[in-house]
Amino acid sequence: MFRANLTAVVTALCMAFSAHFNPAAAQDRRVPSSPAELRLSYAPIVQRVQPAVVNVYAAKVVQNRNPLLDDPIFRRFFGGGEQQEQVQRSLGSGVIVDSSGLIVTNVHVIEGADQVKVSLADKREFEAEIVLKDSRSDLAVLRLKDTKEKFPALEFTNSDELMVGDVVLAIGNPFGVGQTVTHGIISALARTQVGITDYQFFIQTDAPINPGNSGGALVDMNGRLAGINTAIYSRSGGSQGIGFAIPANMVRVVVASAKSGGTAVKRPWLGAKLQAVTAEIAESLGLRSPTGALVASVVPNGPAAKAGLKSSDLITGIDGQAVDDPNAFDYRFATRPLGGTAQIDVQRGSKPLKLTIALETAPDSGRNELVITTRSPFQGARISTITPAVADELHLDVDTEGVVVTDIGDGTAAQNVGFQKGDIILSVNSQKIIRTSDLEKAAKEQPRLWRIALVRGGQQINVTLGG
């Protein structure tokens, strides 16, 4: 009995030693063959990757203004008063992805921050600057300030090669208690109905993830970055075994844009609107199951049109990878490198086709983005003329024209009135709004009533506000 156990232990240690120095061996997937193997430790992986995972502290100053100060009679009798400042703080995690001090975290961790600090695993703290924010993927890139040393960084794995059942480790700063490691497996891949970001394509894991883990690392058994932990499904605020991570292949795209000096992520533009295949549509098309992305409309002279894609075509794959729904296609397409081509599999009627589409960015000239500063219901709204690039970013119909709200300032008149990101302004006091300059001019007028027509979620809304 003793010899049998000793043999199992020696065998297990040899296999662990081999996997540590031979990444190919570590990729072998198998069930543990003995009790001794169950006593093996993740410590070598943790020791290697933990120094590259950091804590991110963000702070912003907000003004607590008494609404009575807006009343001139109140100010006359009680004075103007002073606005009280309050510092709001948020806590999250991040991952060093370049030895120069480049860090990836979530946008929602540092959103609106006036100051960002990063604490390393060795307790040292650095000021950090925001290099790039990509709200569409909820990823942000930071750079450590005033340092020239080389930092430990994680390499990316190919997240398309991950499989359900693979063991993963989640590392971050849950609830602010300090750096913590949890382990679990990949529960599902390509989750597209989560509703967190524009690109609905997440790794689901049962590795415990809690508030504060956002922006932290999900690593594989080779110690490579498999994803960035970003959200949990919870009814209590704590982990309930369902966590979501942004795949490493999307993170790689955002980091590459930051390294190249870009302030925004540039992605390929399809030039077509896609819709999900329902059970009814699948039946009408003679499909066995409701999968794929149905082409609803195509922009004239866009990449899709030039490739020969037509309305009612069914996209079933891209570069040999299956496409289950429009969200899956959006993710696959967005992670393709610009400048080349992609091959998409299409079902047109009963005929399968392969089309080659150019990977190029959407035209963006004429955006003319600006913030309305004039005292009006639009004060504090950032607006843009709708270009193909803007329509793509906000998921508007490909033929949409006019002016759209792209952001709303906190505590502004536009926010208080109820404007939302994505609102399309059609007219103000019967004046048609085509360009941002039209709305800027209309906002400078001081009418007694504001009659505004807008589109929200495909529905036209008419509102009247007092001047």
**Which of the four pLDDT bands, split at 50, 70 and 90, describes residue 81?**
low
Q: Is 108 a catalytic residue?
A: yes
What are the pLDDT digits (tens) for 133-174?
988 888 999 999 988 889 999 999 998 888 898 899 999 888
Q: How many residues in the chain?
A: 467
CA 324 to chain centre: 20
Cα 415 from Cα 403, distance rounded (Å) = 17
Cα 107 from Cα 228, distance rounded (Å) = 12
pLDDT value at residue 349: 85
Q: For residues 264 and 132, is the Cβ–Cβ distance under 8 A?
A: yes
Distance in angstroms between the alpha carbons of the first and the last residue of the chain: 90
Q: Does residue 334 have a pLDDT over 60?
A: yes
pLDDT value at residue 284: 86
Cα 27 from Cα 262, distance rounded (Å) = 35
pLDDT value at residue 211: 78
Is 29 strand, coil or helix? Answer: coil
Transcribe 172-195 into DSSP letters: E-GGGS--EEEEEEEEEEEE----
Q: What are phi and psi of 87, to 5 degrees?
A: -95, 120
pLDDT value at residue 16: 47
Q: Radius of gyration (Cα) for the chain, nearest Å?
A: 26
Cα 202 from Cα 307, distance rounded (Å) = 29
> One of 93, 137, 187, 214 is an active-site residue; which one?
214
Handedness of CA 333, 338, 105, 171 (dihedral sign): positive
Q: Does residue 400 have a pLDDT over 60?
A: yes
Q: Residue 446 carries which DSSP code? A: -
pTM of the entire predicted model: 0.74
What are the pLDDT digits (tens) for 101-143?
999 999 988 887 788 999 898 889 999 999 999 888 889 999 9
Angle at 63 between CA 57 and CA 69, to 5 degrees: 170
pLDDT value at residue 254: 92
Q: Is 20 a catalytic residue?
A: no
Q: Is 395 a catalytic residue?
A: no
> One of 90, 93, 108, 137 is an active-site residue; which one?
108
As given in the structure block, the two tokens for residue 413 are 């008149």
**Which of the four pLDDT bands, split at 50, 70 and 90, describes residue 195?**
low
pLDDT value at residue 242: 79
234 compared with 182, residue with greater pLDDT: 182
Distance (Å) of CA 92 to CA 106, 248, 416: 8, 18, 29
Element (H, E) at 257: helix 248-259
Q: What are phi and psi of 187, to 5 degrees?
A: -85, -30
> One of 134, 137, 138, 239 is an active-site residue; which one?
138
pLDDT value at residue 218: 93
Q: Which of 202, 232, 236, 448 is nearest to 328 (CA)?
A: 202
Distance (Å) of CA 285 to CA 278, 279, 317, 350: 11, 10, 17, 9
In which residue are the tokens 């031979």 written?
22
Query: Residue 159: CB partners within 8 Å, gap ≥ 6?
Result: 203, 226, 227, 247, 248, 249, 250
206 compared with 73, residue with greater pLDDT: 206
Query: Mean pLDDT for the chain?
Result: 82
Is 92 strand, coil or helix? Answer: strand
Phi-psi region of 289 (alpha: psi -120 to 50; beta: other; left: phi over 0): beta
Side-chain half-sphere of 352: how many Cα atoms within 13 Å? 6
Count of helix runs (H) and strand runs (E) in the chain = 13, 25
